[in-house]
Chain A
Amino acid sequence: MNQIQIMFTKPTPSRVLIADDDPVMRHLLTTVVKQQKCEVVMASDGRQAYRILQSDSKFRAAILDINMPFLEGLDVVQYMRSEKRLMKIPIMIITAEENLKLMNDSFSAGATAFLPKPFTPEQLESAILLLLHSQKMTRGAS
């Protein structure tokens, strides 16, 4: 008897890594990301984000604060861009600095988007939509 085997592949989960040492920002970012039907994985500093990324690469996007204890956001960006399994994940950098050099440094390190504080809810929502959309474009292009 011929047997037909059907393999079900698990779809890539819509998970977003959020790393910020400020609980106010973490809550705000989490709420907006969840609005987009994404699951959130949280880190309260750069080292925690790095440890999560060492064993987990199934993220649709990452949102990183630039100024975090133990490991800066840009160090996490550089790590992600140096690892094959992480390098296609879109990254948004959030910072309390409105600094052109910092923005250039973020893009040079491999960030996809840069959002300075303060931001309005609309700006945050559109930035997150843009970030999630950029993953789709990356996948479509590859």
Chain B
Amino acid sequence: MSVSPITNSQSTSARHPTRAITSDMLDFQVLRAFAKVKSDDGSDVVIELIDLYLHATAQRIITMRNAANAEEWELLKRTAHTLKGSSSTLGLRQMAKICQDIEASLSSCADVHRLLSLLESKFVEVKPVLIRERNRRRALPP
């Protein structure tokens, strides 16, 4: 669930209606909504967001694995937190949920390694879906 922006001068928060679940892995409705955001050069923002997500996530998973091996829990937690944010915003709910679980389970080393493996395999599943969507958008007429 997401909330409307809350200002310092406003005490009320308008709740956004719950989004229809189209896919647990990737909610296309959420991702495609970003097509409404128009870039100044007319490029497709969704394609750019997918590219950035794929690149950043691959790097972040490596960072998290290295951090877990070196027992750098703060780095691991911060990286999981960041990945949770971009995953949830783009509609990648399962990725976001695993990141949330990693954040919550830092007291148990075994759990962290298991969840990281789960995150890696989920990213392997999600990657081709995102690439297909990116390629589909690239093929669309301007």
Contact = CB atoms under 8 A, between A and B. Distances in A.
Contact of A118 (B5, B30, B49): B30
B36 interface: yes
Interface string B26-55: 000010011011111000010011001101
A54 interface: no
Measured as residues with beta carbon below 8 angstroms from the partner, the interface class of chain B is 35 or more
Contacts of A96: 81-82, 84-85, 88
A24 B39 contact: no
B123 to A, nearest CB: 14
A118 B38 contact: no
Interface string A39-55: 00000000000000000
Contact of A107 (B8, B39, B86, B91): B8
A30 B90 CA distance: 16
Given A32-B37, A123-B5, A130-B5, 17 more contacts: A21-B82, A22-B56, A22-B82, A24-B52, A25-B86, A27-B48, A31-B37, A31-B45, A35-B37, A95-B85, A98-B2, A114-B6, A114-B7, A116-B2, A117-B2, A117-B88, A120-B33
